[in-house]
Amino acid sequence: MITILSRKRDKYTPTASAASAAAIVYLAHNGNQDTNWLAICNQFGDFCAQTSGAVVSSFITVVVLVLLIVMSALAIGKH
């Protein structure tokens, strides 16, 4: 049980990182009119493409970690 809880904790760190990176990429693409932050993707297209790819790979990592946690829990439950 402790192993499963520690693995769930280890899943939350990449999830939080991916979510915060997604928020920054959203600001880069759309800007924020309330704070006068302009979208920078029009000027730095390569940067936005790379950061968008990094966010996608971060969320793929989270999905893989969730699958590993489920597989581990099932394996522990069988023994």
34-51: pLDDT as tens digits: 998 889 888 887 988 999
Cα atoms in the Cβ-side hemisphere of radius 13 Å centred on 35: 6
Better-predicted residue by pLDDT, 79 or 69:
69
Number of domains in the chain: 1
Question: Which string of DSSP letters, residue by residue, matches 3-57?
Answer: HHHHHHHHHHHHHHHHHHHHHHHHHHHH-BGGGTBPP-TTT-HHHHHHHHHHHHH
CA distance 68 to 11: 10
CA angle 7, 12, 15 (to 5 degrees): 130
Which residue range(s) make up the domain with 29? 2-78
Using the predicted structure, report yes or no on whether residue 4 has a pLDDT greater than 70.
no
* pLDDT at residue number 2: 66
pLDDT recorded at residue 1 = 61
Q: What is the mean pLDDT of the chain?
A: 86
| More confident position, 38 or 8 | 38
